[in-house]
């Protein structure tokens, strides 16, 4: 029996709190909502690092970032690390990446047979932080409040251009796969279509902006006074300038409105891809997974963007729908490293085929509506605005956050979903705090990890300086294209070309 096709649709910086299926009162996300109705919605899914590249490398490899040295947005994703794309190819799948994966380094494929777009961000070491100067900004690319202040309307942006290209290229590849299928190539496919929206800048086209009004946009639920912020949050606020660049309520509403508009835009891309699956007669035999690399604080707790383990930043949407998947919701804590073993499971493989130790488990039992004794997600943040690793353990209703340089944090997400009260010094939770602290001590050597991170930062900064001086070719991915073999050319019989491109084939129409 042929295993099902796989389509992973990935957003960038999409907090589940801003999706209709996850309870947002005005979010217009009909296509994702429809998938959630007919599939499994995971209500406690987390990224393994709340930053683009590290999160994606954990997602691709099934390994925590400390295991593969994927610390920040300029950490190389080594070609020697196996990914789910490698394993799916070994299991007989045609594999394709359309869109962003923020690969850093000369390997820009990482197991994908086809890659049909370039990436939106650079592939070199330019974005390397410096833990020996943790308060220093890298102004050429670093977030600040000007991004929020410039939120609003536009007819075109680099993000819109990119996502329109990603959707077009993905749909064309799916049609090419269907054409090959009609000619006898019956291999299942696995595609990742990865979009940049709703990542800031918060700028939307009018048709999405006009889905919402200023009056219905709520302000953040909980914003502590500056002097009450925990030390890590205060460093983040300083880093993004939120601690000294004031925002008006209108500016906050405008940014959140544009974000919602871009969530709806991303949802429209889900609809386009689902429609394409239907048009190539693959919808009933394709498992669709929708997720994101991390969330966005959007002013909650006075924070913006990501880079922390509060719920709006660390949680991600995760919806699975397709053959063998039950309609329902799962409350167990899960994370992006669980997707590699899940995809191997879907493809008919097993964990014995993995080439390196992995940190996740298959989510197919939960997707089928079965019990899962594991209720845990692990996060690691090793990038800017800190000088020591930040560790998160989410287990059951409790979330523990540890950093060697900061006081511990503990939140009960059932009784306090907004994380308003740090329970780390509450005597009633002393036993839990001690157990979490002991677990962190046993599983992570913070000082050793810090020294490894600083060493890689030094080497990458030295390499980047040489690259800037012309020491190497660009690693930015350039999709191959051979115009002499496209559409109709003089060496072709145009009637045969027309027959090749037409889908469904004429024979399928009874002609």
> What are the DSSP calls for 445-492, one per residue?
-HHHHHHHHHHHHHHHHHHHHHHHTT-S----------GGGSS--TTS
Bond preceding residue 201 cis, omega within 30 of 0? yes
Q: What is the pLDDT of residue 138?
A: 63
Predicted confidence (pLDDT) per residue in 465-500, tens digit = 999 999 888 999 999 999 998 899 999 888 888 988
**Rounded-to-integer distance, Cα 26 and Cα 82, Å:** 41
Identify whether 102 is a catalytic site residue.
yes
Catalytic residue among 31, 47, 96, 102: 102
Catalytic residue among 47, 52, 96, 382: 52
253-278: buried (b, 16+ CB within 10 Å) or exposed (e) per residue?
bbbbbbbbbbbbbbbbbbeebbebbe
Instruction: For residue 191, give the nearest of 210, 176, 203 by alpha carbon.
Output: 176
89 with 111: CB under 8 angstroms? yes
| Confidence band of 257 (pLDDT split at 50, 70, 90) | very high
Predicted confidence (pLDDT) per residue in 99-158, tens digit = 999 999 999 999 999 999 999 999 999 999 999 886 666 665 567 899 999 999 999 999
CA distances from 380 to 53, 58, 67, 432, 493 (A): 13, 10, 11, 20, 57
**Rounded-to-integer distance, Cα 349 and Cα 388, Å:** 38
Q: What is the pLDDT of residue 143?
A: 79
- Max mean pLDDT among 396-405, 463-472, 495-504 falls in 396-405
Predicted confidence (pLDDT) per residue in 414-433, tens digit = 999 999 999 999 999 999 99
**pLDDT of 508 higher than 80:** no
The arithmetic mean of pLDDT across residues 66-90, rounded, is: 97
205 with 226: CB under 8 angstroms? no
Q: What is the pLDDT of residue 509?
A: 47
Identify whether 52 is a catalytic site residue.
yes
Global pTM? 0.96
Say whether 118 sits in a helix, a strand or coil.
Answer: coil
């Amino acid at each position: 029996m042929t295993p099902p096709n796989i389509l992973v649709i990935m957003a960038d910086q999409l907090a589940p709190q801003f999706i209709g299926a996850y309870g947002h009162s005005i979010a217009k996300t009909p296509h994702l909502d429809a998938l959630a109705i007919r599939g499994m919605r995971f209500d406690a899914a987390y990224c393994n690092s709340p930053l683009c590249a590290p999160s994606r490398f954990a997602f691709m490899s099934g390994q925590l970032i400390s295991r593969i040295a994927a610390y920040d947005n300029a950490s190389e994703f080594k070609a020697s690390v196996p990914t789910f794309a490698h394993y799916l190819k070994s299991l007989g799948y045609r594999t394709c990446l359309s869109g962003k994966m923020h690969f850093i380094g000369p390997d820009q494929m990482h197991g994908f047979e086809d890659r049909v777009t370039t990436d939106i961000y650079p592939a070199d070491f330019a974005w390397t932080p410096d833990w020996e100067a943790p308060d220093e900004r890298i102004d050429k690319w670093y977030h600040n409040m000007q991004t929020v202040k410039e939120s609003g309307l536009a007819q075109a942006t680099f993000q819109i251009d990119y996502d329109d290209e990603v959707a077009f290229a993905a749909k064309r590849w799916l049609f090419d796969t269907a054409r090959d299928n009609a000619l006898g190539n019956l291999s299942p496919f696995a595609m990742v279509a990865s979009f940049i929206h709703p990542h800031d800048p918060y700028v939307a086209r009018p048709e999405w902006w006009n889905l919402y009004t200023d009056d219905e946009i709520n302000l953040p639920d909980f914003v502590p006074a500056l002097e009450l912020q925990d030390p890590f949050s205060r460093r983040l606020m300083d880093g993004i300038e939120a601690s000294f660049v004031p925002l008006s309520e209108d500016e906050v509403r405008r940014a959140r409105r544009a974000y919602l508009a871009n969530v709806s835009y991303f949802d429209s891309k889900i609809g386009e891809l689902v429609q394409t699956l239907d048009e190539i007669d693959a919808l009933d035999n394709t498992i669709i997974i929708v997720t994101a690399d991390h969330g966005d604080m959007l002013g909650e707790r006075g924070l913006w963007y990501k880079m922390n383990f509060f719920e709006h930043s660390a949680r991600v949407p995760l919806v699975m729908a397709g053959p063998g998947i039950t309609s329902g919701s799962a409350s167990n804590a899960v994370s992006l490293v669980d997707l590699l073993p899940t995809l191997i499971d879907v493809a008919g493989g097993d964990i014995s085929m993995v080439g390196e130790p992995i940190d996740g488990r298959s989510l197919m039992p939960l997707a089928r509506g079965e019990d899962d004794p594991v209720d845990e997600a692990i996060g690691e943040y090793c990038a800017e605005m800190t000088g020591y690793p930040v560790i998160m353990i989410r287990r059951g209703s409790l979330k523990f956050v540890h950093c060697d340089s900061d006081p511990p944090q503990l939140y009960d997400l059932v009784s306090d979903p907004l994380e308003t009260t740090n329970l780390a010094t509450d005597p009633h939770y002393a036993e839990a705090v001690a157990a979490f602290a002991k677990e962190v001590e046993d599983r992570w050597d913070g000082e050793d990890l810090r020294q490894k991170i600083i060493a890689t930062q030094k080497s990458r900064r030295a390499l980047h300086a040489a690259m800037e001086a012309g020491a190497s070719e660009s690693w930015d991915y350039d999709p191959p294209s051979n115009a002499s073999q496209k559409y109709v050319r003089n060496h072709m019989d145009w009637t045969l070309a027309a027959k090749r491109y037409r889908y469904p084939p004429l024979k399928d129409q009874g002609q």
